[in-house]
Amino acid sequence: MAKSSPVRPTKKQHELLEFIAQFIQAHGYSPSYREIMKALGYTSVATVALHINNLIARGHLAKRGRSARSLEVVKVKIDEPKIIPKQLNAAEEKWLVQKVDRFFKDAETSSRISSREMDQLYVLTGALKVLGLDGAASSFIARLTELKKGTEKNQYSA
């Protein structure tokens, strides 16, 4: 079976890798399939073998020959897709911040803010952060906090 390029392990596979790594660190050799089965609550050795074979195929585990207790955890660097914020020019930045500010002013002057409107303000603030406008996002977070306090106060006084 040819090894494919490394793929992020599933949650179960990650648990298995962690267990194997900790076992090797504690004992100096890898666990048996039965020890893995008992420790992780699998119902059969075949299930353990299936997960191990998948991890070997994905490049996260290696076996030394065909001997027992020969598993090794392979440290793999997975190329994560990086989010690169769209670079905004100064005019676009100013326009965007003004638009978000308008939404905030509308909410701040409103007598009652719905939960949907609050959610939209959180999303807008998060979008500013993703776009790399941390300063603007921070100022809107402070305004969000005040809006939330006011909303909670109105709920209790109603």
pTM, two decimal places: 0.47
Confidence class of residue 84 from pLDDT cuts 50, 70 and 90?
low
pLDDT digits (tens, 9 = 90+) for 21-80: 898 888 888 898 899 999 999 999 998 888 888 888 888 888 887 777 778 888 766 555
Burial of 39 (0-12, 13-18, 19+ CB in 10 A): middle
Q: Kindly tell me the sign of the dihedral angle through the C-alpha atoms of 108, 128, 94, 116.
A: negative
CA nearest neighbour of 147 among 112, 123, 102, 116 = 112
Pairwise CA distance, residues 60 & 114, whole Å: 48
CA nearest neighbour of 55 among 75, 35, 81, 29 = 75
Domains in the chain (CATH in brackets) are 11-73 (1.10.10.10), 90-153 (no CATH)
Q: Are 60 and 13 in contact (CB under 8 A)?
A: yes
For residue 157, pLDDT over 60 is answered with no
According to DSSP, residue 70 is labeled -
